Chains A and B, each alone.
Chain A
Amino acid sequence: MIESGLFTWALANPALQLLLGQSDEEKGKKIFSSFYFSFLPKDPILPGILFDRLKSEEADDTLDARTALPGTLMEGRFQFGCVAQDSPENPVNPSGYLSAALLSQALRLQIMGLATGRFELPDGTAIQDVRIDDEFDAHFELGGQGYIYRRMLMATIFFN
């Protein structure tokens, strides 16, 4: 399933690990967990990625009779919300807004790197193509201890 594949891929990506937050237990280890599905939990580890699937069309269709077998090429649209808070722990960039923007920028490049025609995610999902549809700021939200800044990266991924 592409969701689990992207989850594993993103958290294991060295370029993204540089920008993802870690809990106290995770710090000093190569452990990352700030990739969230659909909603941010209470007191999330930030910066992180908030993931949603927006669309799942079949990439194309034919006259042939269909079967229940998997393998159809899908055209999925995904939203990667890069979220961050102001943090004095980041000496390079204490601004939550810029942390979210930096993470989104890195994520954009890494996702584009999947567009090789034959990329395979850790779960076995084959990615044929990726198109970046949009990247924009969503309004900040009130977090548990301050504001959460959000930059949204929208990508269309062809996969099966």
Chain B
Amino acid sequence: MSIPIGYNGRGTQLLWSLDNINFTPVAQLQQFEPTGSKQTLVDQTNLSTPGNFTVYQAVQADGGEIDFAGLLNPGDYTYLTLGQLHGNLVAAFWQARLVDGSVFSFQAFVSEFKPFTVKWNKLYTFSGKLRLTGGFQSPLGAFQPGAFDPLAFVTI
């Protein structure tokens, strides 16, 4: 038996940087969540394929998106900068810092930005999406460690 290890969300940060050195956390975020990276799979099944099942070959990986949403403070600099990154089409450097100290790094565009949501009975919120270009750099290493691998296209 082992003691389960878990962490609460408070203290988790999503940070942006223009120089990949100085990172600024986006304030008042309430949640952010990657959609997850996805592979493009090509059907490699042919007459010579052994067995009865379809055989796939992974040919590409898409870093996916990160949805984020927060409580709006219209005067907050870190929130306003999201709009600037969006409007100027900047592929900024980003980090997700988890409370255990793990850091996930990536490059992304602010591909969608909703500066405010107003409801009569709710506090203001903002939301948007980051579109990853390339993959994550996880604590274990890059999701995409090497260059293009032609062996990936070897026909089975």
Contacts and interface: CB of A to CB of B under 8 A. Distances in A.
Contacts of A63: 9-13, 29-31
B11 A62 contact: no
B71 interface: yes
B27 interface: yes
Helix, strand, loop or mixed for chain A's interface? loop
Nearest to A158: B123
Interface residues of A, number: 10
A131 interface: yes
B28 A64 contact: yes
Nearest to B124: A60
Contacts of A131: 121
26 contacts: A60-B30, A60-B71, A60-B123, A61-B30, A61-B71, A62-B27, A62-B28, A62-B29, A62-B30, A62-B70, A62-B71, A63-B9, A63-B10, A63-B11, A63-B12, A63-B13, A63-B30, A63-B31, A64-B10, A64-B11, A64-B28, A64-B29, A65-B10, A65-B11, A66-B10, A131-B121
Contacts of A109: none
B interface secondary structure, majority? loop
A15 interface: no
Contacts of B9: 63
Contacts of B27: 62, 64
Contacts of A64: 10-11, 27-29
Contacts of B10: 63-66
Contacts of A66: 10
Interface in B1-33: 9-13, 27-31
A98 interface: no
A59 interface: yes
Nearest to A156: B121
A106 interface: no
B2 to A, nearest CB: 28
Contacts of B71: 60-62
Interface in B32-85: 70-71
Contacts of A60: 30, 71, 123
